[in-house]
Amino acid sequence: MAEGETQSPGPKKCGPYISSVTSRSVNLMIRGVVLFFIGVFLALVLNLLQIQRNVTLFPPDVIASIFSSAWWVPPCCGTASAVIGLLYPCIDRHLGEPHKFKREWSSVMRCVAVFVGINHASAKVDFDNNIQLSLTLAALSIGLWWTFDRSRSGFGLGIGIAFLATLVTQLLVYNGVYQYTSPDFLYVRSWLPCIFFAGGITMGNIGRQLAMYECKVIAEKFHQE
């Protein structure tokens, strides 16, 4: 081959790397937005159940939506959902334990359905006392974790989320933002940590599934380039 026809190979490795980093940033933002709106939707629906059964009571002047919910509840739940959904796959990568148990959307949707059912039971099912209800919901919440998660990181994060969320709720009720009828665990109901635990597991599963989809898209794009 003549000297004028020689071709110098370009630095090909840098392109896909930069592209993958950009894709991760964009997909991270997209996942956060999707998780936020899922959390907002679930907050509106589930909070409606609690209010209809007079489990939670808000001051009349803060009720301002067709779902009879305080305006700040959906954004707060959406933000928490985004943080939880992004945190679960991040912890999995940090621990080097990728979650592979029941990684399909049908399983995630069943997990959401069970979570809604647990929340529905807390508002609709009548027990002789709150202790029986709390024990039942605790068993159902652990069953949800065992059925759809079974990871140590998921269980630990679920416990941490339940503790922090219950603490924040206690402070909100203490300061008169809203209140629970018949509180039996300081200012709230004793079954509330079970709901938070199940919610953390559910949003974690959604976040993991979205993260797995992102990895597939980036891998396909990397190979194409």
* Averaged pLDDT in 10-residue chunks for the chain of 225 residues: 47 43 75 93 82 56 50 88 93 78 83 91 75 90 93 93 94 84 81 93 93 61 50
Distance CA(199)–CA(197), nearest Å, equals 5
pLDDT for res 36? 95
The alpha carbon of 56 is separated from its chain's Cα centroid by a whole number of angstroms, namely 22
Angle between helix 192-224 and helix 152-174 axes, rounded to 10 deg: 130
pLDDT for res 216? 53
Whether the CA torsion 134, 190, 88, 177 is positive or negative: it is positive
The alpha carbon of 126 is separated from its chain's Cα centroid by a whole number of angstroms, namely 27
Angle between helix 73-95 and helix 14-52 axes, rounded to 10 deg: 140
DSSP 8: P
* Amino acid occupying residue 102: K
Alpha-helix runs per DSSP H in 53-104? 73-95
C-beta neighbour count of 170 within 10 angstroms: 16
Closest among 56, 90, 65, 59 to 204, alpha carbons compared: 90
pLDDT for res 73? 82
Residue 70 phi, psi dihedral angles, 5° rounding = -60, 145
Task: Name the helix (H) or strand (E) containing 60.
Answer: none
pLDDT for res 60? 52
pLDDT for res 66? 44
Name every residue whose Cβ is closer than 8 Å to that of residue 144 and which is 6 or more positions away in sequence. 111, 114, 115, 118, 198, 201, 202
pLDDT for res 19? 44
* Whole-model pTM over 0.85: no
pLDDT for res 63? 47
